[in-house]
C-alpha cells in the first residue's frame, strides 16, 4: 500500500537516513569519552537506540513501498562521519549540547509522523511512534543534564535557543500524555525533513 502523503514519505526517508548520521555521531562522541566509562556507556546506549529507530523506520518504509533515498543516505553518511570525527577535537561541552538540541527537535519528528498517519486514518503505528518520540525525549533530558552546570551553556542557549528550560518540543516527562492523547504533542510544530 502506497501512502498518498508526500510530506510523510519525505519525513520517513529523511528520518531513516538521519538516524544513521546520529548513530555515527554517537560513535565518535562515545569514543571521545574514554576517561568517563559511565558517560561513554550511556552514549553507546543512545547510539543503539538510534540504530533501532532506523530499523523501525525502515519497516514502515517497506510496508508503504517508500524507497530509500540514495542522496539522503550519502548526505547523512557524510554528516554523521564528520560529526563523529569532530567529537575528538571540540571538547566535552559541544557534543553534548548539539546532541541535546538535535534530540529535542527529533522528538516532534515522530509525533508529527503520527499526526500525518492520522491524516490518512492510520493509527496502528501510534505506539511505535510514541515510544520513539519518548526515547528521543529521554536522550534530550540526558544530554541537557550532562551540561546543566557548564559555563558555556547560557551563551549557547541564547544563540541556539536550546538548553536548560528551553526545548524544541512540548513533551513533559513528568506529566506524560497517554498514547491515545499524544497526537496533541507538537501540534503547533511544522516539521520539514532534516536538512
* Domain annotation covers residue 194: no
pLDDT digits (tens, 9 = 90+) for 106-143: 999 999 999 999 999 999 999 999 999 999 999 999 99
* Domain annotation covers residue 189: no
Per-residue pLDDT at 192: 52
* Domain annotation covers residue 192: no
* pLDDT tops 90 at residue 66: yes
SS3 of residue 121 by DSSP: coil
**Residue in 163, 160, 122 with CA at minimum distance from that of residue 146:** 163
Expressed as residue numbers, the domain containing 80 is 6-184
Per-residue pLDDT at 81: 98
SS3 of residue 47 by DSSP: helix
* pLDDT tops 70 at residue 37: yes
Q: Which residue has the higher pLDDT, 187 or 53?
A: 53
* Domain annotation covers residue 134: yes
Collect contacts of 43-51 with beta carbons under 8 A, ≥24 apart: 46/139, 46/142, 47/22, 47/23, 49/135, 49/139, 50/19, 50/20, 50/22, 50/23, 50/26, 51/19, 51/20, 51/23
Query: pLDDT above 70 covers what percent of the chain?
Result: 96
**Residue in 137, 96, 129, 179 with CA at minimum distance from that of residue 15:** 129
Per-residue pLDDT at 193: 52
**Residue in 132, 131, 114 with CA at minimum distance from that of residue 123:** 114
Residue 121: left if φ>0, alpha if ψ -120 to 50, beta else—which one? Answer: left
**CATH at residue 151:** 1.20.1260
**DSSP codes, 144-161:** HHHTTT-TTHHHHHHHHS
**Residue in 123, 115, 113, 133 with CA at minimum distance from that of residue 8:** 113
* pLDDT tops 70 at residue 38: yes
* Domain annotation covers residue 195: no
* Domain annotation covers residue 190: no
Which band of pLDDT confidence, cut at 50, 70 and 90, is reported for residue 195? Answer: very low
Q: Which residue has the higher pLDDT, 57 or 165?
A: 57
Which band of pLDDT confidence, cut at 50, 70 and 90, is reported for residue 72? Answer: very high
Residue 163 phi, psi (nearest 5) = 160, -155
* Domain annotation covers residue 48: yes
Q: How many domains does the chain have?
A: 1
Cell of 164: 536548560
* Domain annotation covers residue 12: yes
Amino acid at each position: 500500500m502506497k501512502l498518498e502523503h508526500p510530506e510523510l514519505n519525505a519525513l520517513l526517508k529523511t528520518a531513516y537516513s538521519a538516524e544513521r548520521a546520529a548513530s555515527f555521531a554517537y560513535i565518535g562522541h562515545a569514543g571521545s569519552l574514554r576517561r568517563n566509562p559511565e558517560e561513554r556507556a550511556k552514549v553507546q546506549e543512545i547510539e543503539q537506540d538510534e540504530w533501532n529507530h532506523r530499523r523501525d523506520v525502515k519497516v514502515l518504509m517497506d510496508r508503504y513501498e517508500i524507497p530509500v533515498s540514495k542522496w539522503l543516505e550519502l548526505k547523512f553518511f557524510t554528516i554523521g562521519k564528520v560529526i563523529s570525527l569532530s567529537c575528538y577535537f571540540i571538547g566535552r561541552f559541544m557534543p553534548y549540547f548539539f546532541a541535546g538540541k538535535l534530540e529535542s527537535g527529533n522528538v516532534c519528528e515522530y509525533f508529527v509522523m503520527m499526526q500525518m498517519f492520522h491524516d490518512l486514518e492510520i493509527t496502528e503505528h501510534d505506539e511505535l511512534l510514541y515510544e520513539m518520540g519518548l526515547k528521543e525525549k529521554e536522550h534530550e533530558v540526558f544530554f541537557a543534564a550532562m551540561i546543566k552546570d557548564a559555563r558555556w551553556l547560557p551563551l549557547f542557549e541564547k544563540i541556539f535557543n536550546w538548553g536548560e528550560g528551553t526545548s524544541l518540543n512540548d513533551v513533559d516527562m513528568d506529566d506524560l500524555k497517554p498514547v491515545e492523547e499524544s497526537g496533541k504533542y507538537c501540534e503547533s510544530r511544522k516539521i520539514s525533513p532534516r536538512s
